Amino acid sequence: MGGAWLAAVGDLTLTALLTATCAVLVFAPWLAPLLASAIAGLRSRGEAKEAAARPTELAPLAGEAAIRSRLYSASALGRPAVVRRGRLRIAMLAPPWIEVPPRGYGGIELVVAHLTDALVDLGHDVVLFAPPGSRSRAQLLTPLERPHPQVIGQALEEADHVAQALAYVENPANGRFDLVHDHSGFVALAFADRLATPMLHTLHGPFDERTYGFYARHGHKAAMVAISAAQLRAAPPGLNVVGVIPNPLRVDDWPFRREKEDFLLWIGRMSPVKGPHRAIEVARLAERPLVLAGPVQPGQERFFSEHVEPHIDGQNVRYVGEVGGELKQQLFARAAALLMPIRWPEPFGMVMIEALACGTPVIAFREGSAEEIVDDGLTGFLVADEREMARAVGRLSEIDPERCRSVARERFDVERVARAYESAYRLVVGATTRSLARSQTVPRTRTPRSAMRVARSHSSGSVAAPASVTSRPISTRTRSSAAPAAQA
Amino acid sequence: MGGAWLAAVGDLTLTALLTATCAVLVFAPWLAPLLASAIAGLRSRGEAKEAAARPTELAPLAGEAAIRSRLYSASALGRPAVVRRGRLRIAMLAPPWIEVPPRGYGGIELVVAHLTDALVDLGHDVVLFAPPGSRSRAQLLTPLERPHPQVIGQALEEADHVAQALAYVENPANGRFDLVHDHSGFVALAFADRLATPMLHTLHGPFDERTYGFYARHGHKAAMVAISAAQLRAAPPGLNVVGVIPNPLRVDDWPFRREKEDFLLWIGRMSPVKGPHRAIEVARLAERPLVLAGPVQPGQERFFSEHVEPHIDGQNVRYVGEVGGELKQQLFARAAALLMPIRWPEPFGMVMIEALACGTPVIAFREGSAEEIVDDGLTGFLVADEREMARAVGRLSEIDPERCRSVARERFDVERVARAYESAYRLVVGATTRSLARSQTVPRTRTPRSAMRVARSHSSGSVAAPASVTSRPISTRTRSSAAPAAQA
């Protein structure tokens, strides 16, 4: 992961390198010294270029400027970049829909549950805002009367939950919070520029047609953490990404097993992008049995009946439906390998780290976050297509299950992830503190980047052509988060 | 309407009377002198009672205090209560889902379209925030790229739209706005206490299981206008209701017809609460033909096929499906009467004022807003059940179609409604100006009334009993909006 970034250094702009470095600093601070000299060489060239690209009236964003000045300083990079000191008071803002941790499905809620408990274990003072029924080692506050799993994404409940939580955070009677860590959706981020408390927002979903514009318009209002560098490939420019931190799991909750059985495992939704039909082809080519696990969701019935079901024979291809709990863990632990023949830019492949935690190798197409999770030849194989995947099955004896487990623990265990978030928090809190000391502006507000269009229409029917109403032209290029370029 | 309020004066608390008066002031300022003496008599008693009920540390809300002090003053009531002066700059915040005006269905969007144009005609400077494709005499700003009719109520689009609009309103480069008039949903209201610009929020929907708690927690953040006194019967205490203003229509857009045909008209969704089956029974009892109009929406198929369809014979009972445009207008104009055998607390019955505008009497059950729209014996009849409704059909010759039309124009025409809103705006702007002059607090913030529950849970499983985290106990009783009591 770090190696891939370093290999591409020659082609990077300074901005891209700095953003990538920032991610490294948070998630892999020990890599910082390796990057220091590369940055020193590029620095003067980059600064001149940036100055030319930036409109003269636009001061750099305070938070970013502070983070950059830290990165610019080679001496700062020569020693541990993040000084670990002092207890932080963190408002953890879960979504209002599902209990934390979830009883059934709930990816974000599981991340929030693990992270919150781990931060408490690290000695931080965490207040978790989540639906009633949630359980946490942190102090739990429940703005709403109940969870709302039937209306996920609705404005009424999200605004109700978020506005109450933020009012609590900013009420002096409740003491000072260092930071809001937001997982709740969109309302909190859209209004983050009206808070005095700094916010860190974890990007949980992909950038797609629906979310891209939202993040382009509101993403600058908080510091961002991505869950993979792959996720950022589709990001709009202008995001203030302070780190790439993977989703966590508790490695000790997963059973390690050295002796694997003969079967290959595929697990996921019965969707073409997830590739159950490709897994079937791979198993056929490799002459290995295959176990398919996962739900047939509404809309997937036809694909399943045409491309998957005809191959299920109970011998070479078995289908066990949706699995959870111990059955799921045993499948992961006993499988010869997990197959990931996906064809979409998945921001984070949770099943890959679950397999690794059980000591099970992963063979994955080079899509989405696969390159960041699988070390080719060490914990599995990265391949281009079904034929290569089938060949890689023949090389599984080269992979050491112990190594899979230890890599999972080093990179994805919740304590590791919580420490990475702790570093990100300190970057954001430190940047904000400096910014406040300079500007004395509370609450922080920035010139809006709205791309709102003006149309002066009359009942006669004439509608003026759209035009920008942004009062000051702002180039977001100089602030583009180019971390993904480092992977290209 | 005003008469019903006055009749109940003897039983009212001062608070209830003041709130009712406030509504009268906005919607029927000419009634103000009639109420002045009643208020003078109750004033000293009421003040003493209020002082006792109010926690000593709680100062009255600034906005309400200013409005009340105006009401307390008999001299202020002796002359026109609202001084009409000066042009207002208004940010009109439509929802992000459907064009303004709507091409098809869109009740709120039609209200916003009519009101916005009428305010421009009154000389005000209005900026309308609405989806692309909207048409208005006001300046139109379109925060989003397109309307979103497929995701109505979703947080992403609502937060995106509202946050951009409010950022524009509060950006000094765009000039000062006197007021935000919010129709957009829930996000704007939940964050209204973080704005420097005062907000007026029109209550467009009923208070139900889903919305009651939201308004209980966030309703105090803006001034409120209800669309009927009936709507407020289910309201939580603590709302700052500055007026009851009905939905408008353009009377001149509707055809007046003196000579009616023999048939009775029912129009609405094919839902039991709307009562198409009761209309059929009424027509049978009255021995009159009936025309049913309206859609069979998803989920209504069974009710329609069991309770409506069997009676359709093309003669005595005709069904014309969903109608719009000229066909709908002709049905309204030609019908002997509109039947409203509803059994739910409908906040506002738009079809009733459409019928009246065409000179067509309305016979309605005493439910929801019917009593506020129909003058019993003058523009139609208020009845208890099907039998009474059938008897009232026999008295339709007593109703003068000219009177129906003129009442519709006096009460519901858009110019009349726009002037009522203009008065409400001035109340809110005036109250805010005084409040600001006193406190110099920008942005306005109030002690949050969150009923958020604290639970300190640990993985061991113990969950503390819920408790209030509100730092200061606040009695909302003294601020209860008791207008509905005046109708009881």
Residue A9 near residue A403, CB atoms below 8 Å: no
Lowest mean pLDDT, pick from A46-50, B106-110, B318-322: A46-50
Using CB atoms, which residue from B139, B185, B218 is nearest to A456?
Answer: B139
HSE toward the beta carbon, residue A253, CA cutoff 13 A: 12
Write the pLDDT tens digit of every residue in B79-105. 333 444 689 999 999 999 999 999 877
Please report the DSSP string for B279-319 in residue order: HHHHHHHHT--EEEE----TT-HHHIIIIIGGG--SSSEEE
Which segments of A85-138 are extended strands (E)? 89-93, 125-129
Mutate to test the interface with A, among B168, B445, B472 (most CBs of A within 10 A): B168
Q: Is residue B77 pLDDT above 60, yes or no?
A: no
Chain A CA closest to residue B113:
A459
Nearest CA in chain B to A141: B454
CB-CB under 8 Å, A450 with B168: yes
Closest CA to B119 of B429, B411, B414, B432: B414
Q: Tell me the pLDDT band of B6, cut-offs 50, 70 and 90.
A: very low
Nearest CA in chain B to A187: B159
C-alpha–C-alpha distance, residues B123 and A386, integer Å: 70
* pLDDT confidence of residue B430: 86
What average pLDDT does the segment B3-25 reach?
40
Burial class for B33, CB neighbours closer than 10 Å (0-12, 13-18, 19+): middle
pLDDT at A12: 35
Q: Kindly give, in sequence order, each residue whose CB lies less than 8 Å from that of residue B416, ignoring residues fewer than 6 positions away.
A: B248, B409, B410
- Yes or no: say if A29 and A84 are a contact pair by the CB < 8 Å rule: no
Q: Which residues of B touch A205 (CB under 8 A)?
A: none
Inter-chain touch B191–A159, beta carbons under 8 Å: yes
**From the centroid of its chain, how far is CA B34?**
25
Element (H, E) at B126: strand B125-129
Beta-carbon contacts of B186 under 8 Å, excluding residues fewer than 6 positions away, are: A155, A156, A159, A160, B158, B214, B218
Give the pLDDT band (50/70/90) at residue B231: very high
Give which of A442, A438, A16 is closest to A430, Cα–Cα: A438
DSSP annotation of A272 reads: G
Give the range among A18-27, A280-289, A337-346, A388-397 with minimum mean pLDDT.
A18-27
Q: Which of B136, B162, B450 is facing A168, going by the closest CB pair?
A: B450
CA A230/CA A349 separation, integer angstroms: 11
Residue A357 has pLDDT above 60, yes or no: yes
Q: What are phi and psi of A203, to 5 degrees?
A: -80, 105
Give residue A434's pLDDT band: very low, low, confident or very high (50, 70, 90). low
CA A388 – CA A391 distance, rounded (Å):
5
Both tokens assigned to A320: 């066990």
Per-residue confidence (pLDDT) for residue B16, from 0 to 100: 43
In 3D space, the residue among A288, A280, A284, A286 whose CA is nearest the CA of residue A306 turns out to be A280
Nearest residue in chain A measured CA to CA from B448: A167
Name A339's bridge partners.
Answer: A363
Burial A448-465 (b: 16+ CB within 10 A, else e): bbbbbbbbebeeeeeeee
Amino acid identity of residue A195, one-letter, is L
* B329 Cβ neighbours under 8 A, 6+ residues apart: B254, B255, B358
Over residues A110-118, mean pLDDT: 97
- Tell me the three state secondary structure of residue A50: helix
Cβ pairs bridging A and B (under 8 Å)? 177
Distance CA A175, CA B63 (A): 28
Provide the angle, in degrees to the nearest 10, between the axes of the packed helices B107-121 and B414-439.
80
CA angle, residues A340, A231, A488, in degrees to nearest 5: 85
For residues B227 and B206, is the Cβ–Cβ distance under 8 A?
no
State how far the Cα of B276 lies from the Cα of B266, in Å rounded to an integer: 7
Return the pLDDT at B48. Answer: 35
Quote the CA–CA distance of B486 and B488 in Å, as a whole number: 6
Q: Which CATH architecture has domain B251-412?
A: 3-Layer(aba) Sandwich (3.40)
pLDDT bin (cut points 50, 70, 90) of residue A325 is confident
3-class secondary structure, A210 = coil
User: Is there a contact between A339 and A266 (Cβ–Cβ < 8 Å)?
Assistant: yes
pLDDT at A47: 38
Interface confidence, given as ipTM, is: 0.76
How would you class A86 by CB atoms within 10 Å of its CB: exposed for 0-12, middle for 13-18, buried for 19 or more?
exposed
Which tokens is A398 given?
């080269």
Q: How far is CA B176 from CA A50, A418, B172, B197, B311, in A?
A: 35, 45, 7, 9, 60
pLDDT per position as a tens digit, B151-181: 999 999 999 999 999 999 999 999 999 999 9
The pLDDT of residue B11 is: 34
Which residue out of B128, B166, B193, B450 would a mutagenesis test of the A interface target, given it has the greatest number of A Cβ atoms within 10 Å? B450
CA-derived radius of gyration, chain B: 24
Asked if the Cβ–Cβ distance from A469 to B168 is below 8 Å, we say yes
Q: Do A463 and B135 touch (CB under 8 A)?
A: yes
Radius of gyration of chain A (CA): 24
Residue B435 is predicted with a pLDDT of 60
Measured CA to CA, the distance from residue A346 to residue A207 in angstroms comes to: 10
In A257-407, where do the E strands start and end?
Answer: 264-267, 290-293, 317-319, 337-340, 362-365, 380-383
Average pLDDT, chain A: 79
For testing the chain A interface, which of B203, B458, B474 should be mutated: the one with the most A CBs within 10 Å?
B458
- Range list for CATH 3.40.50.2000 in chain A: 251-412
Q: Which two tokens stand for residue A97?
A: 């829909």
> Hey, is B104 helix, strand or coil?
coil
| pLDDT (0 to 100) of residue B364 | 98
Burial of A223 (0-12, 13-18, 19+ CB in 10 A): buried
**What ranges make up the beta strands (E) of A358-440?**
362-365, 380-383
Contact B458/A137, CB-based, under 8 Å? yes
Minimum-distance CB partner of B155 among A187, A217, A450: A187
Q: How far apart are CA B406 and CA B395, in angstroms?
A: 20
Angstrom distance (rounded) from CA B13 to CA B81? 22
Q: Which two tokens stand for residue A196?
A: 């005095």
Say if the Cβ atoms of A137 and B459 lie within 8 Å. Answer: yes
**Taking CA atoms, what residue in B is nearest to A209?**
B145
Query: CB A159 to CB B453 under 8 A?
Result: no
DSSP, collapsed to helix, strand or coil, labels residue A65 as: helix
Strand-pairing partners, residue B203, are B226
Cα separation, B246 vs B356, in Å, equals 14
* Mean pLDDT within B370-375: 96
Q: How far is B200 from chain A (nearest CA, A)?
A: 18
Of B137, B167, B466, which has the smallest distance from its Cβ to A459's Cβ?
Answer: B137
* H or E segment and range at residue B364: strand B362-365
Which two structure tokens, joined as six digits, stand for A17? 């390198």
What is d(CA B446, CA B60) in angstroms, rounded to the nearest whole number? 11
Residues in A touching B472 (Cβ below 8 Å):
173
Closest alpha carbon within chain A to B155 = A155
Mean pLDDT of A370-395: 97
Distance CA B431, CA B65 (A): 8
Name the pairing type of β-strands A264-267 and A240-244: unpaired
**Structure confidence at residue A134 as a pLDDT band (50, 70, 90):** very high
Q: How far apart are CA B429 and CA A239, in angstroms?
A: 38
Angle at A293 between CA A287 and CA A297, to 5 degrees: 130
d(CA B67, CA B223): 11
Lowest mean pLDDT among A360-364, A477-481, B197-201, B467-471: B467-471
Most confident of A165-169, B466-470, B480-484: A165-169
Whole-Å CA distances, B233 to A199, B237, B376: 40, 10, 21
Across the interface, do B168 and A463 touch by the CB < 8 Å criterion?
A: no
The rounded distance, in Å, linking the Cα atoms of B389 and B56 is 53
Q: Residue A106: its pLDDT value, please?
A: 80
At A386 the three-state DSSP class reads helix
Please tell me the predicted confidence (pLDDT) of residue B56. 27
Sign of CA dihedral A405, A408, A411, A413: negative
Contact criterion met (CB < 8 Å) for B155 and A158:
yes
Mean pLDDT of A383-402: 98
Q: Please report which helix (H) or strand (E) contains residue B141, including its range.
A: strand B139-142
Rounded mean pLDDT, B102-116: 91
For A210, list phi and psi in degrees, rounded to 5: -85, -35
Inter-chain residue contact A135 with B168, CB threshold 8 Å: no
Q: Report the distance separating Cα A142 and Cα B466, nearest Å.
A: 9
